[in-house]
Amino acid sequence: MRTPGRWRRPGRVLSAVGAVVVSALLLGILGFGYGTVPALGPALDPGRGAWTSAYDGTPVSSQALSVPGLAKPVTVSFTKDGLASINAGDQRDLFLALGYVQAKYRLSEMDLERRLGEGQLAQLGGPSDLASDEFELRLGLLRTAQNEWAQTTGTARQALLGYAQGVNDDIAQVRADGDWPAVFTLTGAYPRPWTPVDSLVIQGVLTQELDYTTGPLDYAILQRSLGAANATAWFPTVPANTLSPYDPGPYLKEPLTPVAADLASSAPAGQSPTATTTATAGPEPARRAANVDDAVTEAAGQLLDELGQLPADQIHEYPDSNAWAVNGSKVEGGGALLGGDPHLPQTLPSIWYEVALSAPGYQVAGASLPGVPGVLLGHNAHIAWSLTDTQDSATLYYAEQVRGDEYHWRGAWRKMTVEHYTIPVRGGATVQLAVDITVHGPIMTQVGQRMAVDWMGNVPSDDLGALLGINQASDWTQFKAALADWRAPTQNFTYADNDPVTGQAATGQTGNIGVYAAGYYPQVPGGCQPWLPMSGAGQCDIDGVIPDNAIPQVYDPPSDVVATDNQRPVAADYPYYVGTSYDFYDPGYRAANAYQTLGSASQLSAADIAGLQNSLTDPLAAQIVPKLLTALGSASLTSAERAALSALSSWNYSMSATSPAATVWWTFWSDYLTEVFEPWWKAGHVPVGKDTADLGVSPNLASLDEDLQAWTLTSPDNRAFAGPSGHGPADASAAMAAAFGKAVSHLSAQLGGAPSSWAWGRVHSREFPAVSGADGLGYGPRASGGDPFTEDAADGGLTATAGPSWRMVATLGAAGVSAEGVYPGGQSENPASPWYANLIPLWWDGQYLPVPAPGSVSDDLKWTLNG
Amino acid sequence: MARRLAVFAVVALIVAGTAAAGLWFVPFVAGVAAGLLPLRRPGIVPAATLGAVAGWALPLWILALRGLPAGATARAIAALAGIPPYAAVAVVVTLLLAGLQTLAGAWLARALAPRRSSAANGDLGREPDEVGGVVPGPAVDR
Find the Cα–Cα–Cα–Cα dihedral A600, A605, A608, A614, rounded to 10°.
140
Q: Could you tell me which residues come within 8 angstroms of residue A71 by beta carbon, excluding any fewer than 6 positions away? A: A89, A90, A92, A93, A867
Inter-chain residue contact B59 with A46, CB threshold 8 Å: yes
Domain locations in chain A as residue ranges:
215-225+262-315+396-456, 619-653+658-763
- What is this structure's pTM? 0.93
DSSP per residue over A735-797, as a string? HHHHHHHHHHHHHHHHH-S-GGG--GGGT-EEEE-BTT--TTSSEEEEE----TTSSS--BSS
CATH of domain A215-225+262-315+396-456: 2.30.120.10
Q: Strand runs (DSSP E) across A320-476, as ranges?
A: 322-327, 336-341, 343-345, 353-359, 362-368, 377-379, 383-389, 395-400, 402-403, 406-409, 412-415, 417-423, 431-437, 450-455
Q: What is the dihedral of CA A749, A750, A752, A757, to 10 degrees?
A: -140
Report yes or no: A454 and A264 within 8 Å, Cβ to Cβ.
yes
Question: Which of A51, A183, A779, A829 to probe the B interface (max B CBs under 10 A)?
Answer: A51
Tell me the C-alpha distance between A142 and A206, whole Å.
Answer: 13
Kindly list the residues from chain A whose CB atom is less than 8 angstroms away from the CB atom of residue B13.
none
Strand stretches in A105-228, DSSP E: none
Query: Closest Cα to residue A789, out of A343, A410, A362?
Result: A343
What is the rounded distance in angstroms from the CA atom of residue A476 to the CA atom of residue A455? 29
Is residue B134 in some structural domain? no
pLDDT at A188: 87
Beta strands in A456-569 (DSSP E): 491-497, 513-518, 522-523, 534-535, 544-545, 553-555, 561-564
Same fold, A215-225+262-315+396-456 and A619-653+658-763: no
pLDDT profile of chain A (867 residues), mean per 10: 55 89 96 87 93 89 94 97 97 98 97 97 92 96 97 96 98 93 91 98 95 94 95 92 92 96 91 72 44 83 89 75 96 96 96 98 97 97 97 95 94 96 94 97 91 97 96 97 96 96 74 97 96 96 96 96 96 95 91 97 97 98 98 92 97 98 98 98 96 93 96 96 94 97 97 96 97 92 97 95 97 95 98 96 98 91 94
Do A774 and B82 contact (CB within 8 A), yes or no? Answer: yes
Nearest to A16 among B77, B100, B111 (CB): B111
Q: Is the dihedral of CA A256, A257, A259, A263 positive or negative?
A: negative
User: A228-257 burial string, b = 16+ CB within 10 Å, else e?
Assistant: eebbeebbeebbbbebbbbbeeeeeeeebb
Query: Is B125 in the A-facing interface, judged by CB distances under 8 Å?
Result: no
pLDDT at A312: 75
**Whole-angstrom distance, CA of residue A35 vs CA of residue A127:** 10
Which parts of A506-616 fold into alpha helices (H)? 589-599, 606-613
Local confidence band at B128 (pLDDT 50, 70, 90 cut-offs):
very low
Query: Chain A closest CA to B4's CA: distance in Å?
Result: 24
Single-letter code of the amino acid located at A723: G
Sign of CA dihedral A752, A754, A757, A761: positive
pLDDT tens digit sequence for B5-50 = 999 999 999 999 999 899 999 999 999 999 988 755 678 999 999 9
Closest CA to A451 of A313, A286, A298, A291: A298
Q: How many domains does chain B have?
A: 1
Contact A30 B136 (CB under 8 A): no
Helix (H, G, I), strand (E, B) or coil at A423: strand
Residues across chain A: 867
Eight-class DSSP state of B137: G
Using DSSP, state whether B69 is helix, strand or coil: coil
- Among A129, A273, A258, A256, CA closest to A189: A129
User: Is B53 part of any domain?
Assistant: yes
Asked if residue B140 belongs to a domain, the reply is: no
pLDDT in the model for residue A287? 44
Taking the CA of residue B52 and the nearest CA in chain A, the distance in Å comes to 12
Q: How far apart are CA A698 and CA A715, in angstroms?
A: 21
Phi/psi of residue A281, nearest 5 degrees: -105, 60
List the Cα angle A761/A767/A772 in 5-degree steps: 170
Distance CA A240, CA A248 (A): 17
Q: State how far the Cα of B27 lies from the Cα of A46, in Å rounded to an integer.
A: 12
- Per-residue pLDDT band at B115 (split at 50, 70, 90): low
Residue numbers of B between 12 and 51 with CB closer than 8 Å to A = 16, 18-25, 28
Q: What interface predicted TM-score (ipTM) does this complex get?
A: 0.88
Number of helical H runs and strand E runs in chain A: 23, 33
User: Can you give the pLDDT at residue A411?
Assistant: 94
**Amino acid letter, residue B119:** A
Cα separation, A775 vs A137, whole angstroms: 28
Which element (helix H / strand E) includes A812? strand A807-813
Give residue A100's pLDDT: 98
- Distance to chain A for B74, nearest Cα, Å: 7
Asked whether the beta carbons of A76 and A863 are under 8 A apart, the reply is: yes
Q: Is residue B8 part of a domain?
A: yes
- Was domain A619-653+658-763 assigned CATH 1.10.357? no
- The amino acid at residue A431 is V
Q: Does B56 touch chain A (CB under 8 A)?
A: yes
Distances (CA, A) of A408 to A51, A280, A396, A452, B14: 58, 8, 18, 12, 71
- Distance in Å, alpha carbon of A120 to nearest chain B alpha carbon: 18
Q: Is A35 left (phi over 0), alpha (psi -120 to 50) or beta?
A: left
Q: Measured between CB atoms, does B99 come within 8 Å of chain A? A: no
Which pLDDT value is given to residue B132? 32
Residues 6 or more apart from A542 whose CB is under 8 A from it? A259, A261, A263, A264, A396, A454, A522, A523, A524
Which residues, at least 6 apart from B94, have a Cβ–Cβ distance to it below 8 Å?
A: A44, A46, A51, B56, B60
Cβ–Cβ < 8 Å for A466, A73? no
Residue A803 parent element (H or E): strand A802-804
8 Å CB contact between A134 and A119: yes
Is the Cα torsion angle A498, A503, A509, A512 positive or negative in sign?
negative
Cα dihedral sign for B87, B88, B93, B96? positive
Nearest CA in chain B to A57: B69
Mutate to test the interface with B, among A13, A20, A45 (most CBs of B within 10 A): A45
Query: Which residue from A minimizes the CA distance to B96?
Result: A44
- Domain range holding B107? 2-114
Q: What is the length of chain B?
A: 142
Whether B25 and A776 lie within 8 Å, measured CB to CB: no
CA–CA gap between residue A203 and residue A419 (Å, rounded): 22
